[in-house]
A and B are shown apart, each in its own frame.
Chain A
């Protein structure tokens, strides 16, 4: 979240041809609003407003950018353009679509399709029981269609995580927030730190950014699948490099999901980038493979469960 929070534009604000409804999210780099266009169609508008460089006070329209920060602000704008450009060139049902791009209030705006639904993060938290083998295979195989398209445009997402995968109400996933994608170009700008999320970012994100490749996004996909099952963020890769405390999916959930799925997750989460699936296609192949369903465990009675617990606590 944000340290120096920027004030969002107020509801009912007329921004170009759009009317702002409310703020959707606030990030370190931008603010996203829900708005309606002249036809009354809902859209999402992303406003470029890095809070390290530009601050908008309450009730103001244009941000205050100090002279010192102007070059970096403009440089960051370049990155925002890169994000816009890369998204504009992508037309795929599993990637968020850009509808317009314009300049106003001393900054720039990207208009995107507004989708009804919620993020995968919210979905799995609301419905723990829904995270079945089929659910994971389905969601991630479809999501990977989008990621394949991204990679085929020589782009990396670099910030894949459940909160950046948006689930439409019809259960199809859409990749959102390509804010980190620009970092392939801009990692030498001190004011715009490389963006990543600990737990989902690959080891390359931290130290060897020259090694970033499709396999780095694949690590994040593995971490996202892991997080879906565990309902928590996996150990961060830099910590794993020092002392790996991440329990392999195969060890943690054996019997609950098919071995093949769990092995695939662990495969994606290899610390060495060469040992992971090297392309999205390879991973999709693994996810769509026909497998033997896990042997259903006989439902233990509560007494057996208790006895089992005691046994377990004694054994280590």
Chain B
């Protein structure tokens, strides 16, 4: 497998970031997960963390090189996360259990399989167009589909945050599955939370990510979305992956291309941020301390030099 991938999450104008995202890959399989938590007192964060962690952990456990049945994997993973959130709520005697959306995607053998619950989305972008997109499990989308409201009304509808399919709710979550979708080289998959897609029409995303370096393009897109959403900007998160032909010459794609060919079997590389503490709380090194530390190391080196 060859691909470039980039993930980023921003708090927007909120005090807290309740979005979680992760991706991991083995030699022949890639998993991406995005979750957007909801619930008071930071518990939304916990729900989202449980979702991404449950899926990545079972990926690490189950993958030898590939996942045997990707759809089954996604279903079990999401249902397990749902139960884990309920367990968490039970254990902490929470009146209202926290909830989270979840969209997850597996790519292997050049085929993408995805599933979602709630209003976090997946877009498949090909040749500068949005080829496929998940349908939000939200009231607003139902109204839109029934023709009761139009696109413009949808974006300002008071119920636009009301979603019915999510993990951790009272009902068993509604999980919707994609078809098996064969990827072509240069296809881009985007998984994002509503904070990100609210300010970014799919086609704009498709054009922006068509050929650009994801490392630069994704931060730019998120910054744009944040500005568009103004002072109310929600948390914004995005994972974008550009699929490459397995035969493509590595040197032509620059340094950020990941090739899994040389990975040992049963090894999984994971990118999942640890449960959030604010890095700002860390004591900072001052200029003098840096100089001092270097001086100390140099003198130790001198001491031991022959």
Contact = CB atoms under 8 A, between A and B. Distances in A.
Interface in A229-245: 232-233, 235-236, 239, 242
Interface in B257-306: 258, 264-269, 271, 273-280, 282-285, 290-291, 293-294, 296-298, 300-301, 304-305
Nearest to A78: B285
B285 A75 contact: yes
A188 B275 CA distance: 11
B215 interface: yes
Contacts of B273: 190, 193
A91 B305 CA distance: 8
Contact of A239 (B23, B61, B264): B61
A281 B277 CA distance: 40
Interface residues of A, number: 48
A103 B292 CA distance: 12
A85 B274 contact: no
Interface string B168-179: 000000000000
A7 interface: yes
Given A101-B301, A189-B279, A190-B279, A2 B256 contact: yes
Contacts of B284: 70-71, 74-75
A26 interface: yes
A313 interface: no
B75 interface: no
Tell me what chain B mostly uses at the interface: helix, strand, loop, or mixed: mixed
B21 to A, nearest CB: 11
Interface string A206-250: 000000000000000000000000001101100100100000000
Contacts of A55: 215
Contact of B293 (A2, A81, A233): A81
B6 interface: yes
B231 interface: no
Contacts of B205: none
A1 interface: yes
Contacts of B23: 3
B274 A101 contact: no
B218 to A, nearest CB: 10
Contact of B7 (A3, A6, A85, A101): A3
Given A100-B301, A103-B291, A198-B60, 6 more contacts: A88-B297, A189-B282, A232-B264, A233-B264, A233-B266, A242-B61
28 contacts: A2-B258, A3-B7, A4-B215, A5-B256, A8-B255, A58-B254, A74-B284, A77-B285, A78-B285, A81-B293, A85-B293, A89-B300, A89-B304, A90-B304, A98-B301, A100-B298, A101-B294, A101-B297, A108-B294, A189-B282, A191-B279, A193-B273, A193-B274, A198-B60, A199-B267, A232-B265, A233-B265, A235-B266
Interface of A: 1-8, 26, 55, 57-58, 68-72, 74-75, 77-78, 81, 84-85, 88-91, 98-103, 108, 188-191, 193, 198-199, 232-233, 235-236, 239, 242
